[in-house]
Amino acid sequence: MLTSATVLAGAVVALPAATAHAAENVVRADRSVPRSCFAAPVPKGTAGTDRRELTSTVDGLIQARLAPSTGPEGDWDLAVFDKATGAVVAASAALRTHELAESFVKKGQELVVQACRYGGNAREAVLGVDFLALTPQGTPTGTVAPPQRAELVRVETPAKTDKDKLLRLGLDVTEKADATGVEVVLANDTDRKTLADSGFKSNVIQPDLSAKSVQNAKTDREYAAKAPGSALPSGRTSYRHLYDYEYEIKELARKNPSLVSAFTLPEPTWEGRDVVGVEIATDVRNLADGKPVDFTMGVHHAREWPAGEHAMEWAYELINGYQRDPAIRGLVGRTRNIVVPIINPDGFEISREAEPKGDFTRFDYENKRKNCNVADSPKEFATGVCKANPAGRERGTDPNRNYAGFWGGNGASTLWRSDTFRGAGPFSEPETRNVRSIVSSRQVTNLLTLHTYSNLVLRVPGVADVRAPLDEPAYKALGDQMASRNQYKSEPSWALYDTTGSTEDWSYWATGGWGFTFEIGGTEFHPPYADGVVAEYAGLKPAPGAGHGGNRQAFLDMLANTADPAAHSTLIGSAPKGYQLKLHKTFQTPTSPVLQPDGSTKPPIYVTDKLDSSLTATGGRFAWSVNPSTRPYVAGRYGRDPQGPPQAGFAVANPPGVPAVNKQYPADATSESFTFHVDGLPKADNGKFSVDVAWKSPNTDWDLYVYDAAGNLVSSPANGGTTSEHAVLFDPPAGDYKAVLVNYAQADPAVVDDWTGGVSFASPVPPTYGPKEAYQLTCTSPRGNLVGVADVYADRGQTVDVGEVCTRSAAVAKERGVR
């Protein structure tokens, strides 16, 4: 009785005799040796290492941690090996001495824990090891849950309201969506029931995600075994682990000290992991050199492994290219490049380390999306570490719903369990605050956040109501340019469905720096490496970008845009050597009216944003690449002035007869239709057309589809009700269109509830313009005296001469008697 209870409760076991003799917990090495700690166990006594041997007391998890001892921190790493085979079980290789190596172990498994002093002056570090029995997920009591099958289905959502309704069910909705359907992950029977009860039509895309994962892992092993290298800049052939990312980042920095620097983001994660990044620029340590910043990041979402791979390969691309490719060398010389491949290391570690299990019935962790925040779940689910807790993969906040931009609105969930849970408040998560700190302290003119999947290049806004920014034509052009390389679809992200609180919907509206989301790949969150990483990155078959340059070329286009002064703003002037110029802005970023679980809303929350960046003068003239001083949010909204009247609307004569009830459209074409013509200039200027049909009973359902003359589905069905459908096309090209009506359901088959309807037209909405905003520019002397102040207005593409800001304005102030 007692023994089994101990196992189920999750035994926490320290090192042998660790509690009795604290000294046992201290690892020591007289000198540092930069090496991969996880490459292999090295013999006892090897320089720069220390080791412990121990035996797992549980079927569950090992958690090995390193913390700094007293004195300087240095850089220590950690690895755990299976003693019998020498295979790495867990490892951690972050930049300081905050290491957490965590993975699955078997009871009785003999382990070697190896600590390695990579660099720095710390002769010792403090080691702690815990073993935790695995609590079956979803069961706070520890009862074993029945096996569950995870599957991928396509849900039919012909109207935009259907998508919104689907989003409200709290299911795991993917970005793979088109005008009439969305792919959804059903993790278990509860999800299946939720979908079935909701009345949506669906069909299976992938019946067993667990089996698919096992198959993909095999494909990956075979590929890695036979490929000597790949077309990637690093030549890599398999998905990295978190420790691979960490180790490679610091090796890149160590080997290229003037070009590359590794850094730790300001906040550790919920589980205490350091988040690491890499910066690439000539004279890399001089952060305040005034160059524009390109910021690329991956893995907000745990299971989206190719996102991290693409970001990491981009870092290699820049470093290799700087040495070998004159074009890349030129671009790198004019920019600063920040890469953070894994924004959400807690989540990524779980997903990545669960893969060998291939078991979604108990370890659906491989399918985890969110971070490891536990604060918002009910108490009974708030126990255990993220890899072993009663809520399983459902613990956590969606980092891509947690930014302040329109936070709390549509397309994010108020429920802790949901895959799009928005969190307790805007920027409630360390992961989003880390990104915020970079974007707020540097002039990030270009931001790219990588996700999987659906072959998309997305820009703001995430919700249609926000309307496009005045920058829309240039913003779209950059997205389209990148999409011409990877052959993804370029569009504003609201076109799929609403999202609020996503990365660039904060960063762009707050700073004016272009922000894009790429959804890499066509079918899976982490497909076989050769397809999802090598082919998509390098532009090889079977990627759609094969022969067009792939993501590699898209990223280079983004970098070329970063280097282009026409794409941002530039301040020029002169300042004595060593003087500090600072640009400051502070403002309130409003969230959406905050949706409540009961559907009501509360007033928006105002988040105080502060943007502060600096330039160190080198003496004489300077040029400082910055974002425009007026926020897009304030500058206004895109639109166009009507060039003529809109076309007159008309009622439609319902064709004679009624098509049979059809639930299989378009597979079964049974339907009826009417055609209409849209006029163009000089006769009419239509900003949009709307097709509206209505019927009597809420139990009747007519589905509406609108096609152009070439047969493309063009409508974005929106705002339908229970007795109506509404399809809209903005800026419709002149020509013939066909509206198709499918009789999906009849309230009373004996009495036909037929539709009535019509087509209406509206003028384009003219642009709206807001006020201009300034930056506060200050100059501080090397002794710390404030010697110059100016308000600076700069529009996109503009070069503004701020003159001798450190001397002239100071002299003027003196004349006025200001001290």
What does the binding site for Zn ion look like in residue numbers (CB under 5 A)? 301, 304, 451
List 49, 103, 174, 230, residue binding ligand 0X9 (CB under 6 A): 174
Residue with smaller CB distance to Zn ion, 399 or 528: 399
Residue 419 Cβ vs Zn ion, minimum distance, rounded to whole Å: 10
| Rounded distance between C-alpha atoms, residue 77 and residue 115, angstroms | 6
**Chosen from ligand 0X9, Zn ion, none, partner binding at 261 (C-beta under 5 to 8 Å by type):** none
Strands (E), 543-635: 569-575, 580-590, 594-595, 601-602, 606-616, 620-626
458 binds, among ligand 0X9, Zn ion, none (CB under 5 to 8 A by kind): ligand 0X9
Looking at 35-43, 93-101, 252-260, 497-505, which segment touches ligand 0X9 (CB under 6 A)? Answer: 497-505
Torsion sign (Cα): 707, 708, 714, 717: negative
- Residue with smaller CB distance to ligand 0X9, 68 or 181: 181
Please identify, using beta-carbon distances, which residue of 400 and 445 lies nearer to ligand 0X9.
400
Count residues near ligand 0X9 (CB under 6 A): 15
CB of 721 to ligand 0X9, least distance (A): 26
Say which entry of ligand 0X9, Zn ion, none residue 499 contacts (CB below 5 to 8 A, set by partner kind): ligand 0X9
Least CB distance from residue 52 to Zn ion, whole Å? 38
Residue 505 touching ligand 0X9 (CB under 6 A): yes
**432 makes contact with ligand 0X9 (CB under 6 A):** no
Q: Is the peptide bond before 606 cis (omega within 30 degrees of 0)?
A: no
* DSSP β-bridge partners for residue 641: none
Region of 139-147, 498-506, 597-605, 635-643 interacting with ligand 0X9 (CB under 6 A):
498-506
| Given 213, 455, 487, 502, the residue binding ligand 0X9 (CB under 6 A) | 502
13 CB-near residues (< 8 Å, 6+ apart): 57, 58, 129, 130, 131
Which is it for the CA torsion 303, 305, 310, 311, positive or negative? positive
Report the C-alpha gap between 503 and 404 in whole angstroms: 9
Q: Which is nearer to ligand 0X9, 76 or 497 (CB)?
A: 497
Tokens of 306: 């190719």
517 binds, among ligand 0X9, Zn ion, none (CB under 5 to 8 A by kind): ligand 0X9
Structure tokens at 331: 């671009």
DSSP, residue by residue, 636-670: EE-----SSPPPPPEEEPPPSS-PPP-SSTTTS--
Instruction: Compare residues 331 and 520 and give the one whose CB is closer to Zn ion.
Output: 520
Beta carbon of residue 490, minimum distance to ligand 0X9 (angstroms, whole number): 13
Closest distance of CB 53 from ligand 0X9, Å: 42
Task: Locate 326 and state its tokens.
Answer: 């004159």
Residue 351 within binding range of ligand 0X9, rule CB under 6 A: no
Residues 548 and 544: their CA atoms lie apart, in Å, by: 8
- C-beta closer to ligand 0X9: residue 390 or 409: 409
Shortest reach from residue 809's CB to Zn ion, in Å: 47
462 part of the interface to ligand 0X9, by CB under 6 A:
yes
| DSSP structure string for 45-63 | T-TTEEEEEEE--SSEEEE
Q: Could you tell me the strand order of the sheet in which 688-694 lies?
A: 650-652, 756-762, 688-694, 724-730, 716-717
Complete edge-to-edge strand list for the sheet that includes strand 580-590: 606-616, 580-590, 775-780, 786-792
Alpha carbon distance, N-terminus to C-terminus of the chain = 79
- Alpha carbon 613 to chain centroid, angstroms: 24
- Judged by CB, which is closer to Zn ion: 304, or 472? 304
Count of beta carbons in the 10 Å neighbourhood of residue 674: 17
Q: Based on CB atoms, which residue is closest to ligand 0X9, 337 or 502?
A: 502
**451 lies in the site for ligand 0X9, by CB under 6 A:** yes
Single-letter amino acid, residue 569: S
Please choose, from the candidates 497, 493, 505, 494, the residue with its C-alpha nearest in 3D space to the C-alpha of residue 404: 505
Question: Which residue's CB is nearer to ligand 0X9, number 279 or number 504?
Answer: 504
Task: Indicate the residue among 182 and 293 with the shorter CB distance to ligand 0X9.
Answer: 182
Q: Does 511 bind ligand 0X9 (CB under 6 A)?
A: no
Which listed residue (75, 102, 172, 175) binds ligand 0X9 by CB under 6 A?
A: 175
Are the beta carbons of 715 and 704 closer than 8 angstroms? yes
Choose the one of Zn ion, ligand 0X9, none that binds residue 685, judging by a C-beta under 5 to 8 angstroms depending on kind.
none
* 458 touches ligand 0X9 by CB under 6 A: yes
Q: Verify binding: residue 493, ligand 0X9, rule CB under 6 A.
A: yes
Region from 86-94, 219-227, 502-510, 673-681 binding ligand 0X9, contact rule CB under 6 A: 502-510
Judged by CB under 6 A, which stretch of 389-397, 473-481, 501-509, 723-731 contacts ligand 0X9? Answer: 501-509
**Closer to Zn ion at the Cβ: 52 or 451?**
451
Q: How far is the CB of 480 from ligand 0X9 (least distance, A)?
A: 16
The CA distance from 685 to 706, in Å, is 20
- CA 718 to each of CA 15, 156, 202, 531, 638: distance values in angstroms, whole numbers, following the listed order: 60, 14, 20, 35, 21
From residue 413, give the alpha-carbon distance in Å to each of 601, 690, 720. Answer: 13, 30, 22
Residue closer to ligand 0X9, measured from CB, 167 or 575? 167
The reply on whether position 301 binds ligand 0X9 by CB under 6 A is yes
Tell me whether residue 453 or residue 633 sits nearer to Zn ion (CB atom).
Answer: 453
* Beta carbons within 10 angstroms of residue 246's beta carbon: 27
φ, ψ of residue 738 in degrees (nearest 5): -130, 125
Residues 578 to 617 in contact with ligand 0X9, rule: CB under 6 A:
none
Angstrom distance (rounded) from CA 108 to CA 59: 8
Mask for 365-404, x = binds ligand 0X9 (CB under 6 A): -----------------------------------x----
Nearer to Zn ion, 472 or 505 (CB): 505
Task: Tell me how far apart the alpha carbons of residues 437 and 403 are, in angstroms, rounded to a whole number.
Answer: 12
Binding site for ligand 0X9 (CB under 6 A): 174-175, 301, 304, 400, 451, 458, 462, 493, 499, 502, 504-505, 517, 519
